[in-house]
């Protein structure tokens, strides 16, 4: 077991992407890595229940409580657990350069658009899909990329396109982008990075 990359998933809410990763691990799509830890900045996150059900250690690390010590505590927890890869799965905190450079090329994020479209500061959640629809693009999708100090600025690992329908709302588009793109490419990208780290 020890030859697998140790994965930590950072979450803030429902944890649907976390669930996609757990399912991918159970079905063998992720075989070079293993989810060892789930960390949430929100003690009410349903993602923590998902971790519990899957028998994965879960920790709450609240920015509100820890203030300026938030990132230091996070780094400490990740280092103590000898984490190889960090997956941001709906983690609603912007991480500083100090954090991202400490784990350079080891932090992976999924973003609900085809970067470089509709990304960067302010583009998260439904805002991304609202922007895609108001702009009138015909194709959107999801991107898995490495995280650096620039929001959505790291090297792209994988992308998948999703066609926009005439009657799409931000909510229906969000759901389809998750189901058709995010939940498919995030596990594949995590497996790819795990394999490279352990290669």
Cα distances (angstroms) measured from residue 154 to each of 147, 163, 168, 194: 5, 24, 29, 17
| Neighbouring-strand partners of residue 85 | 7
Active site residues: 111
Q: 173 and 139 in contact (C-beta within 8 Å)? A: no
Strand 57-60 versus strand 139-146 pairing type:
unpaired
* Phi, psi (rounded to 5 degrees) for 198: -90, -5
CB 11 within 8 A of CB 91: yes
């Amino acid at each position: 077991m020890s030859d697998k990359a140790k994965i930590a998933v950072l979450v803030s809410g429902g944890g649907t992407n976390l669930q996609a990763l757990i399912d991918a691990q159970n079905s063998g799509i992720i075989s070079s890595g293993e989810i060892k830890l789930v960390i949430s900045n929100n003690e009410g996150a349903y993602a923590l229940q998902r971790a519990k059900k899957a028998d994965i250690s879960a920790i709450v690390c609240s920015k509100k409580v820890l203030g300026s010590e938030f990132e230091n505590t996070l780094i400490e927890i990740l280092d103590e657990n000898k984490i190889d890869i960090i997956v941001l799965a709906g983690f609603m905190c912007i991480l500083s350069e100090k954090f991202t450079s400490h784990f350079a090329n080891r932090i992976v994020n999924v973003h609900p658009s085809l970067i470089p479209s509709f990304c960067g500061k302010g583009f998260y959640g439904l805002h991304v899909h609202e922007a895609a629809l108001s702009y009138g693009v015909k194709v959107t999708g999801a991107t898995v990329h490495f995280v650096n100090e620039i929001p959505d600025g790291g090297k792209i690992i994988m992308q998948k396109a999703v066609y926009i329908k005439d009657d799409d709302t931000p909510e229906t588009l969000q759901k389809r982008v998750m189901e058709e793109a995010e939940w498919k490419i995030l596990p594949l990208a995590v497996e790819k990075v795990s394999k490279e780290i352990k290669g």
